[in-house]
A and B are shown apart, each in its own frame.
Chain A
Amino acid sequence: MGKSSLKEDFKSRVDYEELMNCTRCGFCLPACPTYIQTGGNEASSPRGRIALMKAVADGKKEPDEEVEAQLNECLGCRACEPACPSGVNYGHILEQARAVIQEHKSHSLPIRMLRKAVFQWLFLDRSRMETVHRMRWMYEKTPVQKLMRKSGAFRMLPGEAAIMERVMPGAAPPKKAVRPPVQAVFQDNPIKKVAFFDGCLMSTMFTETNQNTLYLLEKSGCEVVVPDTQQCCGALHAHAGETDGAVKLAKQNIEAFEQIDADFIVTNAGGCGAGLKEYPFLLKEEPEWVERAKAFSAKVGDISTLLVELELPPMKLEAELVTYQPSCHLENVMKEKGNVEKLLRSIDGVTYAAMPDKEQCCGSAGIYNLVQPEMAMKILDKKMTDVRHIQAGIIVTSNPGCLLQMKAGIEREGLTESVRAVHIVDLAAEALKQAELAGTAAK
C-alpha cells in the first residue's frame, strides 16, 4: 500500500511540542465534565488523554480502540484550556489525533456512507442544506411525521435522536427560509459595517433566529452584508477528524468575506464562531493562506459582544427569572465571556440567576449527544437538576446545539409547562419589540 502506519502518522502529525507542554499539574481535572462524570477516572481527563496521546507518539502504547474510545469520549468543550496555566492547546492536539485516527479507520459500510453523506455531501454545500430543509418541511406538513412518531422508529436510532426529533424547531416554509439579500440591512449613517456569517444550520433550521439577528443589528445602527458565497464553517468536520473538508470550507469562507470590507464578522452560534476563529490553526501548513486566515479570524466575534459594545434601545419583558447556559466554544475558544449576561441584565423585567457550574458543558457538544448518548445524558441530567434548583423560567443559550440540548433536557424532565429554552438573540428581539410596543402604547 505504501501508506504510512497509524503509529508513524501519530508521531509525525500530532504536535509533540504541545504534548510536552503539559506539565501534568492536574489543574485541568476539576474543569473536565467527563472526569467528573466518571467519578474521577484519570483516563477521562485532559491530562490522561494527553498522556495516552503522548504514549502513542512515544511508541509506548498501541493506537488502539482504548485510545480512540477516550478521544471520542472527550466533549471537545475545551473547558480545560482556560484552566491550564501552561497554556496547552488541548483542542488542537485532540483534533490532530482524531484526524490521524480517522484517516486510518475502516468504518463499516453504513457508517462510511453516513459520514460521506454528512461531511462530504450535505455540509459541504449550502444548496444541499437547503434541499434537505425543504424535505424536512414537507415531512412536517404531510402525515409522514405523525406516522413516523407513532411507529416509534426514532427510538431505534441512537442516543437522543427521538427527543431531538421532537424538540427541533418546525421548519420554516421554504418561501420564508430564503436567504436574505446580500445587502441585508441599509443605514444612512451606519455605526459599523457588519458582515453576517449566517451558518448552515442557523440559516435553515433556525431561520427566525437569523432574522432576529438582522433585526437587532439594524436597531443598533449597523449596516449588514450577508455574503452569498459563504459556506458551512467546517467546525463539525474539524472535530470529527475530517480535516480536508474543514480546510476546503475555510478557504471558501475566507474568500467570500475578503470581498467585503467589513468592520466585524458576526456570528450567532458559539460553535461556528470558534470554528472561524480556528482558521489560522487549520491552515497553518499553507503559508499563502495563514495571513489571510488571521485577518479573517481577527474580525470574527459573537453577536452578544457586538451588541454590548453598540448598546441597543431599551428592552423589556414580563417579570421572569432567567438563567444562561453559555456555549463552551464561545467562552473557551472565542474567549468572549460575560456579554450575554450583560444583555440579560439590561432587559427590564429580567432577573438574572447564574447557572451553577455554568462553565461545565451541557453535553450537546456538536453531535456528541448522538454518538456518546450515555455520557451526554449524565451531563444533561446534572444540568437539569441545577435548573430545577434555581427555578428559572427561561434558559438562554448562545449556540444551536446547546439550545436543542436544553430543549431536550426540559422535555426529559417534564418541565415543558414551566421552563423554555431560547437563543439570546430571540429573547433580545422579543424584549426590544415589547419595549417598542409599550412605548407606542404610552404615546
Chain B
Amino acid sequence: MLDQTIKEQLTAITGEERFSDTHEQRVVYSYDATPGFQSEPDGVIRPASVQEVQQIINVCREHRIPVIPRGSGTNLCAGTVPSQGGIVMVFTHMNQILEVDKENLTMTVQPGVITLDITKRAEAEGLFYPPDPSSMKISTIAGNINENSGGLRGLKYGVTKDYVLGLEAVLANGEVIRTGGKLAKDTAGYDFTKLLTGAEGTLGIVTEAILKLVPKPETKQTALALFHNMEQAAESVSAIIADKIIPATLEFVDQPTLQAVEDFAQIGLPVEAGAVLLMEQDGEPEVVQRHMEAMQQICKEHGAISVRLAQNEEEAAALTEARRSALTALARRRPTTLLEDATVPRSKLAEMVRFIEETAAAYEVEICTFGHAGDGNLHPTCMTDVRDHAEMERVEEAFAAIFAKAVDLGGTITGEHGVGEMKSPYLEWKLGHAGVEAMKAVKQALDPDNILNPGKIFAKDTKKRIVLGGGSRG
C-alpha cells in the first residue's frame, strides 16, 4: 500500500481522476495475457504528457517504487505483471498519432496508440506499416516496441525494431532522451533506439516514437496448402526459401490447431488435413503471380494434398484472421493454455517440429504447434490445467527440453514475445553467463535503483522454472 504522502504527490501530478489505488483498479491491472502470473500493483496512474511521466518517475525514484509501463496488457511473457508491486503506468491518455510525414515516410506517435490504428492510418495515406502481431487490434505501439513484437509478416518485412527510427524516452533518473530520428542513416554513438526497443520497459519509459513507413504493396494474394503431415509442410517451406522466394507470410498450423480455429472461425477450414500452410505474397502483380504459382508447384512436389488460392480479399482476410486467433482458439480445449515461441534457423524447422511432437509424447502432454514457418518462429502451445500439479510439472519439463533443443539448433528461447518474468530462468541458456552479466551491467548503469519494471528479463535463478502452479499468485 502507498503512503498517504506518496499518493498526494502522485495525485498532484495527474489530478485525482488519473490516479487510483482502489482495489478494483489494483485487481484489473494485476495481469496481462500470460497464464499463471498475477500480482496486484499499489496504484494505477495515467500520465498525459512526457512531463507528467518525468514527474511520476521522480516521485517513484525518491521512494523506490517500481514503475511498470503497460499498454493493453496483451503480452505473453508476464512483461507487464507488477510482480513486485508498484505503480502501473497506463497510456490511454497519450494515444494520438502526432504526424504522418509523407516526404520522409515516417509516422510520429504517442505510446498509447493502438497498432491497428497505425496500420489503418498508413493505408489511408497509401503507405504501409508492416508489423502485425496477432493482438494488433488492441495492442499499443509502445507495448510492441517494448516487447519488440513480431507478427505474420516477419519473414519478408522484419519485426517492430525494423520500423522504429527514433524514440523519446524518460530514463530512471527523470531525464528525457531522444534517440535516432527521421533518418535512414545515423551513426552518432550507441544505437539507443534498438537498445530501448525490446527492453521491456526496464531501461526507460517510451513516450514517443518515430516509425518507418514503406510504400503500400500494389497487390496481395493468399493461398492455403494442405498436407498429410507437418514434415511435408516444413520441407515445403525450406524449398520455397531455397528457391529464392521470400513470401510476405508463410504460416503453418497443425491439425489440432486447425480444428480449434475452425471451431471458432467457422470458415470451412480443411480440418481433415494433417498440416496447413498459409502463404501470402505481396508486391507487383506479375511478381506476385509468378511467386504464387511457384509456391503452389513446390507444395505439390512435396506432397501437398491440395493448394487453394483465395478468390477474393474477403476470403484472404478470413484466412489470415483465422490464423491470428489460433492461440486463444486452442484455449477452448483445456482451462490453461501455455504458449511458447522457441525459434530456430528456418533450415532446422522440420527437425524442431519433429522434436516437439516426440517431446509431447514422451512427457504425456498435449502440445499443438503453429507459427511463423518462414522465419523459424514456432508456437508450441500446451493445453493443460494449472490446478493439475503433476501435469504442470511434466509440462514444465517438456518446455525446458524444447528450449534446450532450440538453443542447441542455433535458435533462441523466445523469438517475438520477449523474456519478461516468464522466460527469465532460461535467458542464460541463450546468452551464456557473460552475456547475461553484460546486460545486467547496462541495466545497473541506467537504472541503479531498479525501479523500472523490476523482476523482468533477469531471474534470481537460472533454469528452474519459477512460476506455473496455481491459477494466481496475487
Task: Report yes or no: A26 in contact with B33, Cβ–Cβ below 8 A.
Answer: yes
Task: Report yes or no: B25 in contact with A25, Cβ–Cβ below 8 A.
Answer: no
Contacts A21-B331, A25-B135, A62-B23 given: A51-B92 contact, CB under 8 Å? no
Give Cα distance in the complex from A70 to B22, angstroms.
13
Does A84 interact with chain B (Cβ within 8 Å)?
A: yes
Does B435 interact with chain A (Cβ within 8 Å)?
A: no
Shortest beta-carbon distance from A43 to chain B in Å: 5
Q: Which one, A53-61, A93-101, A305-313, A351-359, is touching chain B?
A: A53-61
Task: Report yes or no: A58 in contact with B335, Cβ–Cβ below 8 A.
Answer: no
Does A411 interact with chain B (Cβ within 8 Å)?
A: no
Give Cα distance in the complex from A51 to B135, angstroms.
19
Which chain B residue lies CB-closest to A65?
Answer: B24
Shortest beta-carbon distance from A258 to chain B in Å: 31
Task: Report yes or no: A85 in contact with B24, Cβ–Cβ below 8 A.
Answer: no
Does B167 interact with chain A (Cβ within 8 Å)?
A: no
Task: Report yes or no: A84 in contact with B328, Cβ–Cβ below 8 A.
Answer: yes
Task: Report yes or no: B27 in contact with A61, Cβ–Cβ below 8 A.
Answer: yes
Task: Report yes or no: A42 in contact with B29, Cβ–Cβ below 8 A.
Answer: yes
Given the complex, which residues of B lie within 8 Å of A58, measured CB to CB? Answer: 471-472, 474
Which chain A residue lies CB-closest to B116?
Answer: A30
Give Cα distance in the complex from A85 to B332, angstroms.
8
Task: Report yes or no: A43 in contact with B331, Cβ–Cβ below 8 A.
Answer: no
Given the complex, which residues of B lie within 8 Å of A17, measured CB to CB? Answer: 335
Given the complex, which residues of B lie within 8 Å of A114, measured CB to CB? Answer: none
Task: Report yes or no: A52 in contact with B33, Cβ–Cβ below 8 A.
Answer: no
- Total of A-B residue pairs, C-beta within 8 Å: 102
Which chain B residue lies CB-closest to A69?
Answer: B24
Task: Report yes or no: B74 in contact with A25, Cβ–Cβ below 8 A.
Answer: yes
Contacts A23-B35, A23-B337, A60-B472 given: A85-B138 contact, CB under 8 Å? no
Task: Report yes or no: A20 in contact with B471, Cβ–Cβ below 8 A.
Answer: yes
Give Cα distance in the complex from A70 to B264, angstroms.
28
* Main DSSP-derived SS at the B contact region: loop
Give Cα distance in the complex from A25 to B336, angstroms.
12
Given the complex, which residues of B lie within 8 Å of A70, measured CB to CB? Answer: 24
Task: Report yes or no: A52 in contact with B472, Cβ–Cβ below 8 A.
Answer: no
Does B93 interact with chain A (Cβ within 8 Å)?
A: yes
Contacts A17-B335, A60-B472, A85-B331 given: A26-B24 contact, CB under 8 Å? no
Task: Report yes or no: A26 in contact with B27, Cβ–Cβ below 8 A.
Answer: no
Given the complex, which residues of B lie within 8 Å of A45, measured CB to CB? Answer: 28
Which chain A residue lies CB-closest to B25?
Answer: A43
Within 8 A of A (CB), among B455-473: 471-472
Which chain A residue lies CB-closest to B91?
Answer: A40
Give Cα distance in the complex from A41 to B73, angstroms.
12
Which chain B residue lies CB-closest to A38?
Answer: B92
Does A29 interact with chain B (Cβ within 8 Å)?
A: yes
Contacts A25-B74, A60-B474 given: A85-B328 contact, CB under 8 Å? yes
Does B172 interact with chain A (Cβ within 8 Å)?
A: no
Report B98-142 CB contacts with A as 1/0, cut-off 8 Å: 000000000000001010000000000000000000010111000
Give the top 3 A-B pairs by smallest Cβ distance, nearest first. Answer: A85-B328, A40-B92, A48-B28
Could you tell me which A residues sit within 8 Å of B by CB distance?
17, 20-21, 23-27, 29-30, 39-43, 45, 47-48, 51-52, 54-55, 58, 60-62, 66-67, 70, 84-87
Could you tell me which B residues sit within 8 Å of A by CB distance?
22-25, 27-35, 72-74, 90, 92-93, 95, 112, 114, 135, 137-139, 263-264, 325, 327-329, 331-332, 335-337, 471-472, 474
Extra pairs beyond A20-B471, A40-B95, A85-B329 (15, CB < 8 Å): A21-B331, A21-B332, A24-B31, A25-B328, A26-B139, A30-B137, A43-B25, A45-B28, A51-B31, A61-B27, A85-B327, A85-B332, A86-B329, A86-B331, A87-B264
